[in-house]
Structure 1
Amino acid sequence: MTERGVLLWIHGGGWRARSDENGAALAPLGLRVVSATYRFSREARWPAQLDDVRAAARAARATGGGLPLLVGGDSAGGMLALHLALRGVDRPGDVAAALAYWAPVDPLDAAQRRPRPAGDDPWADLLGHPPVDGDPATADAAVASHLGCGVPVLLVQGRDDVPVPAAQAVELAGRLLAAGHPTHLWLTHGGHALDLARPDLRAVAAAFLDHVLPATPAH
């Protein structure tokens, strides 16, 4: 298949490890998948991770041969992909689209901040302290603080996700729509870290890409 775009894939892992998902299942949809890395929360606090994926996006764009740049990721990587798309690589609106899979987007979500074992709070590790209302770093890490550039967004979420409650994706989809973002939400069966090659997830991604990418000329 002719390549229609470059997808910068940002891995998940709670901002402190690397998940196994690499986005390769999306390549047959006409995407050149390029992996991004970023400093883990034990190495650097927010927003260092956004700085790192911005640098990766610039490199991917420079070698993309003029193809549209999309960003995507799973879990914590999905959160970073959303920040990158909504805030831009160099300016808001300079990314073609975002594909975010089961992404934590609200550090203050009470359902996600259920009682945890001591020392097991990914958001606190990322920020350097537990999230709190009125805190600038907490507000900056919340995806909904950065809406309005009009970038199209695909949100995919399992209904039974425990690490990332599905209500986060539903609420964010509404806020994206209200802010003028073309938004696709696929709320489906299953929990966290679903298979991107699953037929329904693949079909939703394909439909989204057909909507946001220019048509490939017939040969």
Structure 2
Amino acid sequence: MVYYQDAVTVVSKGSEVELVKILTIYTSLDLSCNNFSGSIPKEIGELKALYILNLSSNALTGEIPSSLGNLLKVESLDLSNNSLRGEIPPQLARLTFLSFLNVSSNHLVGRIPTSTQFSTFPAASFTGNEGLWGPPLTGDNTTELSPPPPSEKGFPHSGPEIDFDVLSVEIGCIFGFGTVVMPLVFCKRWRKWYYRSVENIFFKMFPSLDKRRDSRGRRVSRNRRRRH
């Protein structure tokens, strides 16, 4: 007699699959999108009957436990969109039934394990990990992740470089400021002429102020005449 459990929707190999009738011998663990934190328990590696393991889109940290290499029947393994660190355990390379793998968008580093099974996975399975290298992300070396060599032209500078363009502008501003301010400070005739010129320009911009100045000047002259 075959027994069935209730229907359920799981994410298998990157796609949602609705299982209407589930055999009791069918084993799947989907804990995605639950905001789980902490490290992945190494005891999961003891669930050797698992076919699907999905821990994606959580807040998992720490390293990928090497015990996942004991899931010899697993066909879909999704650990993407977490904060996992460290290297991909080489034990995962012996999962010969693994047809879907996604460890993208983590903080993994090191060389991607080499195996016949891992060579079938696309680059999208590993993107979003700045420290990962090797096929299918890069060539079979770390040169693509290394910084460019220093230029052979010229000699290295031990101190900060001087931007002469900025320096020339600053010197010009100081010199121009000095040529205007110094005569105003030390020459009374130049100071009177300067203020008179600025005043005339100001009154041309605002004629109403010029009229007030004229009327005020006439009142002052009349007061002076009365006093005499």
Same fold (TM over 0.5): no
RCO comparison, higher one (Cα < 8 Å, 6+) = 1
State the TM-score, normalizing by the size of structure 1: 0.29
Larger radius of gyration: 2
